[in-house]
Structure 1
């Protein structure tokens, strides 16, 4: 029914000019017929003159009706031309803003079009901020730079526009308010229309000029406002979608960094970049506290001048006192009444006009703060504020996780160091029991590692080689002193017991996860290249390389150091013995590399090397 009524109204308006002209003609003709003869008879009583007067009366009727029809039709045509011109203006306005999807660019374009459309001295665009309860008015006077003014949205003159969705203008005698003033200019002739999207006022547009505002101006402004509302609704929707996608991508990027980046300085640098890129600020800083020492543990920033050392000395109390998020749009008005900023705080830089700070809290522990600085206004709407809070939470989680990993690494390093020190203690105890020369185990360990590095073994292999070298004779713990310390030759039965010590080493170390990979030296270092060794009689390359290296080093150290039963051999004599066992006891390639290393280290001279080759 409502649609039919609308169609009936449209049809009625379509024929209204014709109906108006017809009605006026019928009315005038009826009045003429009813009263013209009576009036003429009273004025001219003579019948002959009355007949002549009737002729003139007819011509007078034709002239008057013609003029009346002309004026009526001309008025209707002017209305039609005016309406058509307004339609053209509206269509041109719609065409000019079509395809502009950036809200800021759209605002500038609309202000320019309003200026041309209404021949106005001043044009403005307003957006309410539900968070601050302020109306942000972007104002342009002629070609001058865009000015911005904040007005409480509770001001009476804006109430009909923002809360009742009504247009206002000086034409409707709403009067003048002192609030309707920009840059010292009072707007006496003005028109303002709300921007409505989904039955909610999302803003307003208006103009002011010296010439009086007509009803047609207000109608045109309302039509332009409808188009502007839809344009801003689409632009804001797309902008919000793009922003949400970018912010979700940023959160995912931070999550990935938390999982893969354990360098806290690099991680904080990445987080600062995300704050700047996503929130449109010019600078950002993250401060991490050390509560035990009551000092600043980490301070890192992007976009600020070099931080004064004095600020770091005075910042702890300020950072520790920031327990809630704070956003300040203008750092030059009333800021010190909000919080007591340190004397050397970057906020005192005159170029910044926007500032925001949020505490970094993880598992109810305050880790520090993140601060944002901008040299222009930031639209701290609800979505932006919530995203800032989310980024701050992610930052706190990231810092907390890296600290946790670093603490675990430190604990693991301390534990490993304790293990290593324990192993060294065991090795010294073994040396003392076996009456080995002082520091025998430390020497063979260092030389074994040097050979491993020379042969290109991995860091992991070298670590296990070191532990295996320290514990190479741990199996002798179960060998009786009567056998281990016997000065004469061992009997076959005693040799049988002595040769069990590699197996004992395996039984001792294999159950220990930390030491199991180090078994190759304690278990295999008595194997020989030709297969005549023990405990398994392995030969050639089947003997682990760590054991092949250690076998040479162990014999070398035994030959070149004093023992209770003999004095140390010279390096050349010991080297000749090693070389004689190449291909029998030792791996020939490792022997050659070992002798070359001794030569490079100055233990064997070039002449010694030539003598060995003879």
Structure 2
């Protein structure tokens, strides 16, 4: 019992029956070489009958006796009948076992595929795949790798996630030694690779020590192929010799084929999400450019977005200074050093800078290209920062180069950099810079125009003073006082400008009053006074036709209105009177009391204050 016999043993009755499929009676078992094939050494006779079903030998029944010549031909016939029944039963049992195993595998696949499809994220799908292999198929470790464009195989996910082996090894799929193992071959050849014995397989040499330290004995590398292209690999490990049977490998291959499509879909989904995020970024920056007139602030926003969306380690905007032929840093993110090389690049010394500004397209600098850079300072700066890949995009506005947008990586970007997105960001920076320059020019022009307006209005005010000798310098004094009081009352910006202009022009309507009345030395009669009281209306008729002065009308038109409604020309009262006119009315009264007149001296400050308080509300 518990014995095994090689089918190639020429002396074993069991082996002979199994090989030939023929039953045989052994009446005298005397040779030790034959006796070893039976259950007990004392047997003197035996009967060996193969278990045959549908032409296949499933096993052998051996009957033995301690007496010689114990079995007859009739016993042989009966044994063959029993063997036939036993073979049929064994065949059915094996068929049921196979069906049950197939059903279990089908059930596993039916449950596994929906589980994989539940997750839309690449890492989530990969982790579920590795977990199914460990928990449902009983491999010791599983990890999913992606074939990167630079030849690396990056680990997307593994199970158990805490197992250190995937992090300890470096695997490639290109022509270097690390790419000649089963993983690299599986990806390149798009064929299953099985390592039966890690301790002796020469292709496993770079990883043998680490693998054996975790008691792995065998492995399988299953390519993940979708639409005829290798996405990556499913790597599986076991500590059981011979674990990866043909049957298991077929199951794993079916699972991997289904998973490959889901992994590629997940990768496309993530790419779509990134593209949408990039479009959203461009839209947000567009809105920011529209709402902000500050190019420096826009540059800061763009640098934040470019480092986030493109996973860059650093980014910067360099602006061209035509006078010095220099690119000078206008904004930066992520640089460690503060070297002069980070702040300025000589266009004449840098081959890269000249190429970008000449060709006006995105330039990619790999580690090798950085070593060829002719600007010694920039090259040393990149070495000190540890940059291995740099991208520059030109800033072009109206066919004029303004500078460059640069992004820097200390590790090679996994999926490269979308140059169209980088160009779009650079275009937005150029627009912001152009807008900033236009706004600065507009601001200077506006300041010049405002200065011209002020000079013109002050000239008008002086003209009035020359005409009315009693009010010399009055316009300038009340204007300054009105502005100071307006500021104290919270008036700012354009409203303060119009308050100033209105104060300067408060008596512009007197241009319509005849000199005989305006310059009369004595007291005005009732008719003359009625004419004098028309000067606010003359001011309205004069200024309302001038568009840029229309907002300044409140003071010239309403500064003689009174809080109690007894003013002129319209008899407004209370808050019907514009605030600017109310402010000016107080200032005008104050200046009148504090100025010398031919018929009286100026009031002292205290008396003027008391007079203002006394007349409040009138």
Q: TM-score range by the shorter chain?
A: 0.5 to 0.7
Alignment partner, residue 264 of structure 1: 295
Alignment partner, residue 24 of structure 1: 55
Q: Does 1:145 align with 2:129?
A: no
Q: Does 1:255 align with 2:290?
A: no
Matched ranges for 1:92-111 at <5 A: 99=118, 101-104=120-123, 106-107=125-126
In 2, the alpha carbon distance for the partners of 1:366 and 1:184 equals: 56
1:230 to 232, 244, 261: 261
- Cα distance change on mapping 1:185 and 1:53 into 2, 3 Å: closer
Q: Does 1:283 align with 2:314?
A: yes
In 2, the alpha carbon distance for the partners of 1:471 and 1:356 equals: 60
Q: Are the equivalent residues in 1 in contact too, given 2:117–2:125 (CA < 8 A)?
A: no
* CA-CA distance at 1:442 after TM superposition: 1.5
2:225 to 172, 178, 196: 196
Aligned residues: 529
Q: Are the equivalent residues in 1 in contact too, given 2:139–2:237 (CA < 8 A)?
A: no
Q: Are the equivalent residues in 2 in contact too, given 1:128–1:153 (CA < 8 A)?
A: no
Alignment partner, residue 571 of structure 1: 604
In 2, the alpha carbon distance for the partners of 1:344 and 1:137 equals: 29
In 2, the alpha carbon distance for the partners of 1:326 and 1:148 equals: 30
Q: Are the equivalent residues in 1 in contact too, given 2:559–2:581 (CA < 8 A)?
A: yes
The RMSD of aligned alpha carbons is 5.2
* CA-CA distance at 1:524 after TM superposition: 3.1
Farther-moved stretch of structure 1 (373-382 vs 206-215): 206-215
- Cα distance change on mapping 1:64 and 1:539 into 2, 3 Å: closer
Q: Are the equivalent residues in 1 in contact too, given 2:282–2:425 (CA < 8 A)?
A: yes
In 1, the alpha carbon distance for the partners of 2:79 and 2:563 equals: 143
Alignment partner, residue 356 of structure 1: 391
Alignment partner, residue 274 of structure 2: 243
Alignment partner, residue 7 of structure 1: none
Q: Are the equivalent residues in 1 in contact too, given 2:390–2:409 (CA < 8 A)?
A: yes
In 2, the alpha carbon distance for the partners of 1:239 and 1:589 equals: 72
In 1, the alpha carbon distance for the partners of 2:83 and 2:575 equals: 129
In 2, the alpha carbon distance for the partners of 1:495 and 1:71 equals: 134
Alignment partner, residue 443 of structure 1: 477
CA shift digits 1:513-534 (9 cap, x unpaired)? 2111212222333445676655
* SS in structure 1 of the partner of residue 343 of structure 2: helix
Q: Does 1:335 align with 2:366?
A: no
In 2, the alpha carbon distance for the partners of 1:541 and 1:100 equals: 67
* CA-CA distance at 1:571 after TM superposition: 1.9
Q: Are the equivalent residues in 2 in contact too, given 1:285–1:301 (CA < 8 A)?
A: yes
CA shift digits 1:309-362 (9 cap, x unpaired)? 45324366658543332345xx64453236757438753344444433323334
* SS in structure 2 of the partner of residue 371 of structure 1: strand
- Cα distance change on mapping 1:113 and 1:287 into 2, 3 Å: farther
Q: Are the equivalent residues in 2 in contact too, given 1:431–1:437 (CA < 8 A)?
A: yes
* CA-CA distance at 1:250 after TM superposition: 3.0
In 2, the alpha carbon distance for the partners of 1:137 and 1:543 equals: 76
Q: Does 1:414 align with 2:445?
A: no
Q: Are the equivalent residues in 2 in contact too, given 1:289–1:298 (CA < 8 A)?
A: no
In 2, the alpha carbon distance for the partners of 1:536 and 1:60 equals: 135
Alignment partner, residue 518 of structure 1: 552
In 1, the alpha carbon distance for the partners of 2:128 and 2:477 equals: 82
- Cα distance change on mapping 1:68 and 1:337 into 2, 3 Å: farther
Q: Are the equivalent residues in 2 in contact too, given 1:360–1:366 (CA < 8 A)?
A: yes
- Cα distance change on mapping 1:332 and 1:203 into 2, 3 Å: same
In 2, the alpha carbon distance for the partners of 1:345 and 1:474 equals: 70
Matched ranges for 1:450-461 at <5 A: 450-455=484-489, 457=491, 460-461=494-495
Q: Does 1:369 align with 2:404?
A: yes
Q: Does 1:464 align with 2:498?
A: yes
- Cα distance change on mapping 1:493 and 1:341 into 2, 3 Å: farther
Q: Does 1:434 align with 2:468?
A: yes
In 2, the alpha carbon distance for the partners of 1:201 and 1:241 equals: 20
CA shift digits 1:12-54 (9 cap, x unpaired)? xxxxxxxx9644179xxxxxxxxxxxxxxxxxxxxxxxxx986
1:503 to 533, 537, 544: 537
Q: Does 1:324 align with 2:377?
A: no
- Cα distance change on mapping 1:312 and 1:501 into 2, 3 Å: same
Q: Which structure 1 residue ranges, 5 or more long, are not aligned?
A: 1-19, 27-51, 591-614
* SS in structure 2 of the partner of residue 521 of structure 1: helix
In 2, the alpha carbon distance for the partners of 1:425 and 1:523 equals: 20
- Cα distance change on mapping 1:300 and 1:554 into 2, 3 Å: same
* CA-CA distance at 1:292 after TM superposition: 6.1
* CA-CA distance at 1:229 after TM superposition: 0.8
Q: Are the equivalent residues in 2 in contact too, given 1:324–1:359 (CA < 8 A)?
A: yes
Farther-moved stretch of structure 1 (539-548 vs 298-307): 539-548
Alignment partner, residue 347 of structure 1: 382
Structure showing the higher helix proportion among its residues: 1
Q: Which structure 2 residue ranges, 5 or more long, are not aligned?
A: 1-50, 58-70, 212-217
Farther-moved stretch of structure 1 (385-394 vs 272-281): 385-394
Q: Does 1:125 align with 2:154?
A: no
